[in-house]
Amino acid sequence: MALAKELFTRLLAGAAVLWAAASLAFIVLQLLPSDPVQVIYGADSTVTPEMRDRIRADFGLDQPLWQQYAGFVSRTVTGDLGTSYQQRRTVVSIITSELGSTITLASLAVLLAFSLAVLATLATAGRDNWLRRVISSLELVSVSTPAFWIGLLLLTFFSFQWPIFPVVGDQGWKSLVLPVATLGIALFGTLSQVMRNEMDQALEQPFALTARTRGLSLWAVRWRHALRHALIPALTIAAETFGALLAGAIITEQVFGRPGLGRITLQAVRNQDIPVVLGVVLFSAFVFVTINIIVDLLYRVVDPRLRARA
Amino acid sequence: MALLEVRDLSIRFVGRSHEEDVQAVRGLSFSLAAGECVAIVGESGSGKSATARALVGLAGDNALVEGSVSLGGRELLKLSQRDWLGVRGRNIGFVLQDALVSLDPLRKIGREVAETIERHRLLPRGEIKGRVVELLTQVGIGDAQSRLDAYAHQLSGGLRQRALIASALSGDPGLLIADEPTTALDVVVQAQILKLLNGMKQAGKALLLISHDLAVVAELADRIIVMKDGVAVESGTPTQIFANPQNDYTRALLAAIPSARTRGLSLVTGSGGEATESVGIVPRLPVLEVGEAVRVFGKRAAVDDVSLTVVAGETLGIVGASGSGKTTLARLIMGLEAPDSGSVTLKGADWSALHERQRRPLRHLVQLVSQDPMSAFDPRFTVERILDEALEAREFDRSSWAERRLALLKSVGLSEAHLSRRPRQLSGGQRQRVAIARALAMEPEILVCDEPVSALDVSTQAQVLDLLLDLKRRLGLTIVFVSHDLGVVQHVSDRVVVMNEGRIVEEGAVEEVLASPRHDYTRALLAAQPRLPEGVAG
């Protein structure tokens, strides 16, 4: 009962966030000094004033601003994000056609980073030895190196030096390896640092001592007890990063010439294709809201203390 | 032949340099047979916990353990890490204090208790659940089947401590080591847990009990070892130790136990505390009155129709078990919580009914000293800043701060040297002194002490209690003293209120209430109080 109530509140708050994001994006784009008709037709001087008016009417640009806003919001609620000025396709179809590629990339990258971080944490938490120092240094490198640089290095070695993987384009799983590795490595550092910190703390707790007095090895205490404690902050970071990647793996997608949301966002911004930009903004807001709700539910699964008291 | 034979045990914690080395235990020897209980008693830092941990090979990576520990004829100190794993849980069970953190908070009780059985493969998978239910029932957890899926935070303090003991028993070890097993519990639950441990002893377990409190181990132990600074200063049967203590430190420990006998005396020196700078006769006027106050949380009334009067210059003790509503009552008195009905008046004027903005100028009159000063301080603040915050809130002139700080520290027995320390760099007793100094900085008339000594060991507790009594005499403070420990309340209070389930069940002068309790609950509380044997040399 309490859960249903909280879920309802969260959904309501999520809707408010979406509405705020939409309104803000709408306002900002109105302030841009650009003429939509020019965007739609390019710098073609043959457009007659009559044609210009027709185009404005087609896109609803002749209406007063508040009507445009009302229309935008009401269409958005029904899932209609409008039509691209440039591609003459609906924004929804543009996003969905690129989404698959981005989701694959983001999921695999987060999965890779998460696995690496779990391994690193299990191997080094609660210890003070050479392995810990090596892995800590690797994390530091990962945190402080920009993703595109990791990508360029990987390309240099694994595509040019030894042509194992393709340089650009989408050629099945082979072309996924380097982008996934790039993002995964860039992500791993933060995740691993946070998880180990948390696991170090868990291992200092009395329950870890209790577990050891039952005959568990240090390894078993980490695996069976401390890991779950480390999952709580890791979940937050991984989810947030996943959301960020869905909407903005722009640079990595650019480096590897991959299709994806990042690429269409970049194009749309460059061409002032307002409906697409608005669509992407709304989509990112939607992704973040959804992921946050899911993560809040996952916390309850991991940490029973957060479950509502009966 | 004793089950456990400890000979000349020495534990040294190796620091980065020779100077940083700490000799935690030196030349400790004792033996423990099945069905017997040996208690090691001492203050924090005496080496008692290090000893307990060394016996299961978990003294730490930087601990150098020497001497001999043999269990059933097997030398433990020569074991490899691998062999140790087979001994822990199987031959030696270990119980720590406070099951809320000593059981994994993210795992179900059933799984925690089963862990030793799984680890040592003592039973086939299918039979484990039945055995866990059996164990939980054995330690006195009713309806054990339904508790399997509970988490530690969902159980009461007593139940989860029982579950922790069940988990230590699950490998059927011959030796049980209990390190402060009742320290986090209130007296009633403590009595139950001690009874349970006694049952284990009767059933033939060898029991090694570690505690800072001589009174707690008095009834259970066959032999007591008193430790100080890593050395056993005295050992003997409880009768020997209590009736005829040979060592000065043992005598000090005994004298430090607050009770009816010690009223008006210093717990540290044992001498009568004649008021040296008494502020004279304080008019016996009511300063604070609670009238028919009710405070409901959810469906439960935490405070249920409570009326009481606090008279200027007295110490009013509020006693009760956990959950009896005494902390909520203290919060009502502090004006941190408003009663749902009824009233709290301060010096004859409205207090609980005031708007927070009107109450703020009066807040300094009622100050709090809480149980755990570690969490009541900002860990990044120095003592100086902690005190300054109070001085600033009271709007004292900045030029007087330096002088006031020193006076405050001096009044609680600290010095200028402590100004630059942070809470973490202070001992538990020093932290509580700073908390008191901070409260005094506001120039209060009423000091509300909520379990101010529960987190301290007996020797430190004695010093803090002495300090509170001294301050009361010198400054004419009125003290509301909330505690679950009857001995402490008996020692400090003039009058006492006994609370149970949100109601006051008995009140009156301390001597009367505790000498001839009329209410069943008061009798139960008294019966649960750990008692020193008769004829203690005080």
Residues A73 and A102 in one domain: no
From A28-37, A254-263, B186-195, B465-474, the region with the lowest mean pLDDT: A28-37
Test B88 with A228 for CB contact under 8 angstroms. no
Residues of B in contact with A207 (CB under 8 A): 101-105
Test B89 with A225 for CB contact under 8 angstroms. no
Residues A202 and A251 in one domain: yes
The percent of residues above 70 in pLDDT, for chain B, comes to 96
Residues of B in contact with A224 (CB under 8 A): 115
Any chain A CB within 8 A of the CB of B27? no
Number of domains chain B is built from: 2
Instruction: Find the closest chain B residue to A308 by CA distance.
Output: B154
Instruction: Find the closest chain B residue to A126 by CA distance.
Output: B61
Residue B187 lies in a domain: no
Question: What pairing do the DSSP bridges indicate for beta strands B446-450 and B300-311?
Answer: unpaired
* Best to test chain A binding among B91, B115, B297 (most A CBs inside 10 Å): B115
- Which of the listed residues B171, B201, B230 is the one where a domain comes to its end? B171
User: Residues 181 to 220 of B: which have CB under 8 A from any A CB?
Assistant: none
Residues A203 and A255 in one domain: yes
Shortest Cα–Cα distance, B1 to chain A (Å): 25
Provide the pLDDT for residue A100: 86
Q: Is the pLDDT confidence value at B144 over 80?
A: yes
- Which of the listed residues B156, B171, B186 is the one where a domain comes to its end? B171
Shortest Cα–Cα distance, A217 to chain B (Å): 7
Provide the pLDDT for residue A254: 81
Q: What value, to the nearest 5°, has the Cα angle with vertex B416 and ends B414 and B417?
A: 90
Q: Is the pLDDT confidence value at B108 over 80?
A: yes
Test A210 with B103 for CB contact under 8 angstroms. yes
Test A211 with B115 for CB contact under 8 angstroms. yes
Any chain A CB within 8 A of the CB of B258? no
Tokens of B95: 């119980």
Shortest Cα–Cα distance, B452 to chain A (Å): 24
Q: What CATH number does residue A167 fall under? A: 1.10.3720.10
Mean pLDDT of all residues in B92-105? 90
Query: Which amino acid, one-letter code, is at A147?
Result: A
CB–CB contacts below 8 A, A to B: 77
Report yes or no: A109 and A180 within 8 Å, Cβ to Cβ: yes
Shortest Cα–Cα distance, B388 to chain A (Å): 32
Shortest Cα–Cα distance, B166 to chain A (Å): 12
Q: What CATH number does residue B406 fall under? A: 3.40.50.300
Provide the pLDDT for residue B534: 60
Q: Give B192-210 as a 3 state SS string.
A: HHHHHHHHHHHCCCEEEEE
User: Do you know the residue count of chain A?
Assistant: 310
**A146 three-class SS:** coil
Closest CA to B329 of B340, B318, B315, B321: B318
Residues A197 and A271 in one domain: yes
Residues A163 and A262 in one domain: yes
Query: Which amino acid, one-letter code, is at A141?
Result: V
Q: Which of A207, A210, A215 sits opposite B85 (nearest CB)?
A: A215
Q: Which of A207, A210, A228 sits opposite B94 (nearest CB)?
A: A210
Provide the pLDDT for residue A58: 76
Residues B293 and B167 in one domain: no
Residue A39 lies in a domain: yes
Residue B235 lies in a domain: no
Q: Which of B56, B103, B105 sits opposite A213 (nearest CB)?
A: B56
Residue A82 lies in a domain: no
Query: Each residue of B373-386: pLDDT tens digit?
Result: 778 898 899 999 99
Query: Each residue of B260-316: pLDDT tens digit?
Result: 777 778 887 776 654 444 444 455 788 899 999 999 988 888 899 999 999 988 999
Any chain A CB within 8 A of the CB of B94? yes
Provide the pLDDT for residue A303: 87
Residue A71 lies in a domain: yes
Which tops the pLDDT comparison, B129 or B372?
B129
Residue B190 lies in a domain: no
What's the CA gap between B106 and A307, in Å, rounded?
11
Which tops the pLDDT comparison, B94 or A305?
B94
What's the CA gap between A73 and A70, in Å, rounded?
5
Residue A213 lies in a domain: yes
User: Residues 495 to 534 of B: which have CB under 8 A from any A CB?
Assistant: none
What pairs with residue B295 in β-bridges? B303
Question: What are the DSSP calls for A239-306, one per residue?
Answer: HHHHHHHHHH-HHHHHHTT--SHHHHHHHHHHTT-HHHHHHHHHHHHHHHHHHHHHHHHHHHHH-GGG
Residues B292 and B429 in one domain: yes
Test B107 with A225 for CB contact under 8 angstroms. yes
Residues A125 and A242 in one domain: yes
Residues of A in contact with B106 (CB under 8 A): 225, 228-229, 302-305
Query: Which amino acid, one-letter code, is at A239?
Result: A
Domain of residue A12: give its range: 2-77
Q: Which of B89, B96, B101 sits opposite A215 (nearest CB)?
A: B89
- Which of the listed residues B136, B171, B206 is the one where a domain comes to its end? B171
Residues of A in contact with B116 (CB under 8 A): 214-215
Instruction: Find the closest chain B residue to A301 by CA distance.
Output: B106
Test B58 with A302 for CB contact under 8 angstroms. no
**Residue B108 CB-half CA count within 13 A:** 13
Residues of A in contact with B103 (CB under 8 A): 207, 210
Q: Which of A215, A217, A225 sits opposite B104 (nearest CB)?
A: A225
Whole-angstrom CA distances from B51 to B23, B48, B96, B236 are 12, 5, 14, 18
Mean pLDDT of all residues in B132-160? 90
Provide the pLDDT for residue B279: 44
Confidence of residue B535 (pLDDT cuts 50, 70, 90): low
The percent of residues above 90 in pLDDT, for chain B, comes to 57
User: Do you know the residue count of chain B?
Assistant: 538
Residues A33 and A125 in one domain: no
Q: Which of A207, A211, A220 sits opposite B101 (nearest CB)?
A: A207
Provide the pLDDT for residue B536: 56
Number of H helices, E strands in chain A: 14, 0
Residue A300 lies in a domain: yes
Provide the pLDDT for residue A66: 86
Query: Each residue of B308-341: pLDDT tens digit?
Result: 999 988 999 999 888 888 989 999 999 998 999 9
Question: What are the DSSP calls for B133-192, one per residue?
Answer: HHHHHHTT-TTHHHHTT-BGGGS-HHHHHHHHHHHHHTT--SEEEEESTTTTS-HHHHHH
Confidence of residue B129 (pLDDT cuts 50, 70, 90): very high
Domain of residue B363: give its range: 287-528
Report yes or no: B100 and B152 within 8 Å, Cβ to Cβ: yes
Residue B200 lies in a domain: no
Residue A276 lies in a domain: yes
Q: Which of A214, A304, A305 sits opposite B89 (nearest CB)?
A: A214
Query: Each residue of B7-49: pLDDT tens digit?
Result: 999 999 988 888 888 899 999 999 999 999 999 999 888 899 9
Residues A31 and A118 in one domain: no
Shortest Cα–Cα distance, A237 to chain B (Å): 20
Test B88 with A213 for CB contact under 8 angstroms. yes
Complex ipTM above 0.95? no
Residues A111 and A69 in one domain: no
- Which of the listed residues A11, A44, A77 is the one where a domain comes to its end? A77
Provide the pLDDT for residue B266: 82
Write out the residues of chain A at the interface with chain B, using a CB-CB cutoff of 8 A: 205-207, 209-217, 220, 224-225, 228-229, 302-305
Report yes or no: A175 and A258 within 8 Å, Cβ to Cβ: yes
Residues A127 and A241 in one domain: yes
Provide the pLDDT for residue A310: 37
Number of domains chain A is built from: 2
Residue B70 lies in a domain: no
Test A214 with B164 for CB contact under 8 angstroms. no
Residues A44 and A111 in one domain: no
Residue partners of A134: CB distance under 8 A and separation at least 6: none
pTM: 0.81
Residue partners of B105: CB distance under 8 A and separation at least 6: A207, A303, A304, A305, B151, B152, B153
Residues A111 and A196 in one domain: yes
Test B164 with A210 for CB contact under 8 angstroms. yes
* Best to test chain B binding among A127, A212, A213 (most B CBs inside 10 Å): A213
Residues of A in contact with B165 (CB under 8 A): none
Test A304 with B115 for CB contact under 8 angstroms. no
Mean pLDDT of all residues in B97-119? 92
Confidence of residue B532 (pLDDT cuts 50, 70, 90): confident
Provide the pLDDT for residue B272: 63
Per-residue model confidence as pLDDT tens for chain A (310 residues): 677 888 888 889 999 998 898 888 888 877 877 677 777 766 666 777 787 788 777 777 778 888 888 888 888 888 888 888 777 788 888 888 888 888 888 999 999 999 999 999 999 988 888 999 999 999 999 989 888 888 889 888 888 888 888 877 667 788 888 889 999 998 999 999 999 999 999 999 999 999 999 999 999 999 999 999 999 899 989 988 888 888 767 888 888 888 888 888 888 888 888 888 888 888 888 888 999 888 888 888 888 888 754 3
Residues of A in contact with B104 (CB under 8 A): 207, 210-211, 225
Shortest Cα–Cα distance, B96 to chain A (Å): 7
Residue A92 lies in a domain: no
Residues of A in contact with B86 (CB under 8 A): 215
Supply the DSSP symbol for A174.
H
**What's the maximum distance between 2 C-alpha atoms anywhere in chain B?**
75
Test B116 with A303 for CB contact under 8 angstroms. no
